[in-house]
Copies of this chain bind each other. A is one copy, B any other.
């Protein structure tokens, strides 16, 4: 990359930080950005910093939110007897897009993965137990990823919940095995919700 001006080099490097963005794409995005009006560039930059500053995790369910507790936890129209347990905050928004789920959420912020040194302590589990202990919850739907880590996490939580009067279910394997919740289309995910079975 001889002769790239320094500011351009830095912009390209900034884009390359993102997952799945290689050198060619980073160059393409950089040149596109440079061709836009200054106000637009500033507004994109501002959207990034503002999102980082304004968004936090709900102290109750772990969802990404601007207000704490989040709009899911405070919404009186949602079914408080159902909690859908997911690995990441982004999964919540994908589930919302199915339009089929009206319960609450709980974000674990990870999945059990002994090889990566992620045990139960690393997950947002204590709070989940406390939410169940409060007694309002009748069912926990495990919507962790359809892979080894997600399955292990779901099984672990099912065991953890044995002492409580709560049903633990797993979303159905309409999901492509080995895939990632993030890349699933809404229809498949909707079917998977419908077909959930008790663990």
Query: Which A residues are closer than 8 A to B by beta carbons?
Result: 1-8, 10-11, 13-14, 17-20, 24-25, 27-34, 36, 38, 40-55, 64-66, 71-72, 88-90, 93, 96-97, 99, 182-183
Contacts and interface: CB of A to CB of B under 8 A. Distances in A.
Nearest to A45: B45
Contact of A40 (B17, B36, B54): B17
Given A5-B65, A5-B66, A17-B36, 10 more contacts: A1-B93, A7-B66, A8-B64, A11-B48, A14-B47, A19-B32, A20-B28, A27-B90, A27-B182, A34-B51
A59 to B, nearest CB: 15
Nearest to A23: B97
Nearest to A21: B29
Contacts of A71: 3, 5
